[in-house]
A and B are shown apart, each in its own frame.
Chain A
Amino acid sequence: MLRFFLSRIATAIPTLFIIIALAFFLMRLAPGGPFDSERALDPEIANNLRRIYKLDLPLPEQFWFYLRSLAHGDFGPSLHWRDFTVNELFAMALPISAALGIKAMLVGIVAGTAIGIAGATGTGAAGPRFVDGAAIFGIVLPVFVVAPLLQLIFGLKLHVLPVGGWNDGAWQNQVLPVIALALPQIAIVARLMQAALTDALAMPHIRTLRAFGMPWVHIHSHALRAAFPPVVSYLGLAAANVLTGSVIVETIFGIPGMGRYFVDGALGRDYTLVMGTVIVVAAAVLLFNLIVDLVLAWLDPRVRYETKPR
């Protein structure tokens, strides 16, 4: 297991480096810079600013400087939020996005699994069909429609929850964002679960258990173990995405999370901020893929054998 773990880490580091290099140079290829706006700066002042932020150096040299500070865990100063470093911005934003993301994932997994199981084990064709229909609805309905609807219904019509704002994480302010984040996850998990469980229930070993007259609970616990791998594979990437913030949900609900920095950073040519977000997301994706592999190995022993040298 340790060997498996180490080999994955060893491949993750060069992957991360390639991502960093690509992001760095691609970002600089985009026209315009952090100091361009409707009110153009005096050219000499702009040059002075570029010097202060070391943007006047040749690109490879800038890249080298960036890697060096990165090695010390320093993402550099933000070019837009000039009173903060990128580390400080992330220290405030990442816990917020992660807190919302974890709740949304939990809701997504529990509700999605439950609906999926109900759909797969329901009698006749009505169960699966209902799950399919509801799930497709949940998948195709975009968050930028769902989120304002939630605001209108619960905030403006019923007056039971605030329309927006973070309010230092008061639970009332978290309910609607978590729902908005969780809905698509519920839908996808439910569909995956239902399909996988339907297949699993038709497998020969389950049929054998049935033939032996095993109790219902026993049969299903075996079927579920076989049904989980596709759901787990999906959840890895989904968790990496949801935990690092959703720009749409955060913008609509006014939540100071990570998601908004992706778009703000890219549109504002806030180079250091963009690099920081790319690295955080890339690291999260690599980490969750690793976790998925470990969980899959635990669920299905065959996965373990495949990683051993032949």
Chain B
Amino acid sequence: MNRTPGGHGGASRGISRRTALSLAVSGLAASGARAGDSSPPMIWHRGELGDPGSLDPHKATTLIESNILDELFEGLVTYDARGAIIPGAAASWSADPAGTTYNFKLRPDAKWSNGDRLTSGDFVFAFRRLMAPSTGAPYANILYTLKNAARINKGDLPVENLGARAVDAATLEITLEYAAPYFIAQLAHMTAKPLHRKSIEAFGSDFVRPAHMVTNGAFMPKQFVPNDRIILTKNPSYYDAANVALDGEIFYSLEDRGAALRRFMAGEIQSYNDVPAEQIGFVRSHLAEAFKVTPNLGSYFYAFDTRSKPFDDRRVRQALSMVIDREFLAERIWSGTMDPGCSFVPPGIESYGPPATVSWKDMDLYEREDEAKKLLAEAGFGPGGQTLEVEIRFNISENHRATAVAIADMWKVLGVETRLLATDARTHYAFLREKRPFEVARSGWFADYPDAQNFLFLGESGNMALNAASFANKTYDQLMQEAQAEASPEHRRALLHQAETILLEEQPFLVLLIYRSRNLVSPKLKGWEENVLDNHPGRYVSIAP
């Protein structure tokens, strides 16, 4: 029944085929701990929503890439199976009282897949490469916390000025531009991985080819066929290899969610990270044990164009937000795979605690409607005033459309006339990037690292690239700056809470829903834990027979 793609026919016929499959499978077996054993290699067949654009951590941008890169490379810190930060390549670290200089001690047993020792120089090399303008790293700005990083990345300073220094082979000193309490969490991001200097110098941008690639994570690449699969094998040099049960992993690029569901049911893949919206009912009734719906660090919201009338008026934004029945959206439109959103920061960030919520959270819908009508009337809309017309722009997707239609309907009680405008994703985001005038636009945000700042910075007036609402509020900016400089975790939390409260009162972003991850996970997969980051390292996973 468990007809895995590598399992039937192909292997026995392998000799007569010119294909690499039989080689790949026998390679997986040989690399595993049970070489010589007759038991088949333990391979996790993972369905993913698409292909990674690159296996170069400095060129990667998507969650799909992050999932694979976390298997290949290990930064100074990493995640455990539940998504908590744990030491990775660094055994320990200390910070100076000001919180701007960190000292990392690398594990003495940390090695590259070719047996080379992992040194602090590898991190310095990687951080410099990340910031060098010639690399063109799209997400270099995530580590602008490093001293001089922004200026180096913009070509104003040479890379040697970067605040990362190898004290000795096992000690890395990192100097920050400013104290950043989230810095350790940032180090788990894919941009903060070490790179094997020699193979990059030898092969240039081709170092990502499986034949050349040297990794320091639990796995190493064996084959990458675009739009098909990526085969990873266990890295025997990994310091924790003795506790890695899998012999390998195969990532499949499966864009068609319906086909992925059928492959999951046939046992060809053991996990997949989405379910077709129209089949959630079927999955709930037939695959209940395998269907995992977990709160996720992602926010689904609408941005108002706060630069122009009438959306520069807090009352209009607040009124439009108040009348939305978020429970209906979460339960009926999204079939329970979203949570109603009453905060901008999703719940589940340990350092932040429960997020701030909108002041009207506990009012019932009728009270909110009355309140909203009052606010709109004050702003000059409604009976006796003007008719409010709103255009919602969104990127094409069945659920985005259904959500917009439902919201347009909810706004009718306020006498609002709503138009919908759908464009493809690239057009939609280019439109927002170019700061063209709009009224209401759909957007969303997933955490780069688990910290409230990583959500709240979307509202900073200086963050023009990501602040889709063009929200500008001096008090808010000031609170965010104070939080940045604050060393005490409790004070910092309080400051960020104040900032979020302002964001909710002003509603430049109409908070709607909090994402939940929806995974299909075979009950045979052991060690796969639900977590808010939806991060599932193969290092902790094993497969029951």
Contacts and interface: CB of A to CB of B under 8 A. Distances in A.
Interface of A: 30-46, 48-49, 52, 80-84, 89, 92-93, 148, 151-152, 155-156, 159, 162-173, 250-257, 260-261, 264, 267-269
Given A31-B430, A83-B208, A256 B227 contact: yes
B153 interface: yes
Contact of A253 (B10, B154, B259): B259
B64 to A, nearest CB: 12
30 contacts: A31-B426, A31-B430, A32-B426, A32-B428, A36-B426, A39-B445, A40-B433, A40-B465, A41-B139, A45-B136, A52-B134, A81-B226, A83-B55, A148-B258, A148-B262, A152-B262, A163-B262, A164-B268, A165-B228, A165-B229, A168-B19, A168-B20, A250-B227, A252-B256, A254-B253, A254-B254, A255-B227, A256-B227, A261-B227, A264-B227
Contact of B427 (A30, A52, A162): A30
B426 A251 contact: no
Contacts, number: 181
Given A30-B427, A40-B432, A268-B426, A256 B226 contact: yes
Contacts of B425: 36-38, 267
Closest CB pairs A-B (n = 4): A32-B426, A168-B19, A32-B430, A256-B228
A44 to B, nearest CB: 6
Contacts of A92: 225-226
B265 interface: yes
Interface stretch (B1-9, B348-356, B373-381, B522-530): B1-9
A32 B429 CA distance: 7
Interface string B225-236: 111110000000
A83 B226 CA distance: 10
Contact of A35 (B138, B224, B259, B423): B138
B457 interface: no
B136 A48 contact: yes
B17 A162 contact: no
A52 B136 contact: yes
Contact of B259 (A31, A34, A49, A254): A254
Contact of B61 (A37, A253, A269): A37
Given A34-B426, A148-B258, A162-B3, 15 more contacts: A37-B425, A38-B443, A40-B465, A82-B59, A152-B262, A159-B1, A159-B3, A162-B266, A165-B268, A166-B225, A168-B19, A172-B10, A251-B255, A255-B227, A264-B227
Contact of B17 (A170, A250, A264): A170
Interface of B: 1, 3, 5-6, 8-10, 13, 17, 19-21, 51, 53-56, 59, 61-62, 133-134, 136-141, 153-154, 205, 208-209, 224-229, 252-256, 258-259, 262-263, 265-266, 268, 423-433, 443-446, 464-466, 468
B252 A165 contact: yes
A163 B268 CA distance: 8
A254 B426 contact: no
A170 B426 contact: no
Contact of B226 (A33, A35, A89, A155): A89
A251 B426 CA distance: 21
A49 B255 CA distance: 27
Contacts of A93: 226-227
A171 to B, nearest CB: 8
B266 A163 contact: yes
Contact of A36 (B56, B139, B430, B444): B430
Contacts of A252: 256, 258-259
